[in-house]
Amino acid sequence: MPTFTALTTLVGKAQADQLGEAMERLNPEPTGVGVFEIEDGSGLWEVGGYFIESPDEAGLAVLAAAFGAKPFVVSELPETDWVAKVKRELAPVEAGRFFVYGSHDADKVPEGSEPLLIEAAMAFGTGHHGTTLGCLKALDRLANEGFVGQNVADIGCGTAVLAMGAARIWPNPVLASDIDEVAVEVAVANAKANGLEGRVICLEAAGFGHPDLAVKAPYDLVFANILKAPLVDLAPDMGGNIVAGGHAILSGILNEQADEVVAAYDAAGFDVHTREEIGEWTTLTLTRR
C-alpha cells in the first residue's frame, strides 16, 4: 500500500496547530497529522500529514495560503517492510555493561552483560541513537563510581530502556513516564518482555505531573532524554524533585545547545558531573548541589 506525506513549515505554534486541525478535514483524510517545533531557534513549526491515498494538492495549496505557510511538499514513500528493515540494520548495541538487542539477536547476548530486549517493531529508543547510547553509558559510569540509585525516575521514557537499565542493576522499582499514550503502552510491553513487570512502573504524564511521581519525590536519579526546549522548561521541577547529591542524566541535546541547558540547570542548583558528545548529540550527567 502506498504512503504519501505532505509537509510544510510556518511561524507560530497557534497557527501551526490550527493548520494541523484544518488538514484533518481534507478529503481524502490523512491517517495522521503531526505538529512539531523545529529545534533550531528559527521559530518555525513543521506541520505534516500521512495519507494512504494521494492527497488533494489543490486543497493543501489553499490551506498553505490561508495560514501563511510555505507550499506543501508532497512525497510518495516507497513500500517498505519496516520491521524487516530494522532487523537487518539495527545491530545490537553495547553501552558499558548494557547490551541492547532485538529477539532476532538473542543468541548474541554476551555472558555477564545486562541484557535489554527491545523489539524491532518498537525501535525508537533502542540505544542506536547517540542520545540513548549516551544515557546508558552515563548510567554505567555512575554505577562504576559506586552510586546506587534507590529512587529513580525516567521522564519521557519512550521504550523505557533507561528505566529498565536502572531496574536491572539496582534493587528498587523505577518509575517511567511519558506524555504519549502509545509510548507508555510500548514501555509496558518492553518491561514485560524483559521480566521487569512490577520493577518498571509505567505512567502517562507530562514531566513530573502525576500523583505517583509526586508521592515518590524527591529522587536520587532522574533520566530525561527528550529535547532541549522541554529540558530547559523542566529545570526548576528537576531542582525541586532531586535530592542534594542526586543526579540528573539528560540528553536529546544537540552539541551546540548543551551550554544553554547547562546554564538553565546551574540556575536550578546543578553542577556538571560529566559531559559526553556522541556524534551530534550531548549527554549531561548533573549533580544537585
* Pair type for strands 174-178 and 152-155: parallel
Q: Is 41 annotated as a binding residue?
A: no
Q: Who contacts 11 (Cβ-Cβ below 8 Å, separation ≥6)?
A: 43, 44, 45, 68
Q: Is the torsion defined by CA of 118, 122, 128, 134 positive or negative?
A: negative
Of the candidates 154, 152, 159, 105, the one whose C-alpha atom is nearest the C-alpha of residue 127 is 159
Q: Is 17 annotated as a binding residue?
A: no
Q: Is 156 annotated as a binding residue?
A: yes
Q: Is 225 annotated as a binding residue?
A: yes
Q: How many CB atoms lie within 10 A of CB 111?
A: 4
Q: Who contacts 79 (Cβ-Cβ below 8 Å, separation ≥6)?
A: 1, 2, 3
Cis peptide before 218 (omega within 30 of 0): yes
Return the C-alpha cell found at 84: 524487516
Of the candidates 223, 159, 225, the one whose C-alpha atom is nearest the C-alpha of residue 189 is 159
- The DSSP secondary-structure symbol of 268 reads T
Residue 222: beta bridge partners? 153, 248
Q: Which residues are annotated as a binding site for S-adenosyl-L-methionine?
A: 132, 156, 178, 225
Q: Which residues are annotated as a binding site?
A: 132, 156, 178, 225
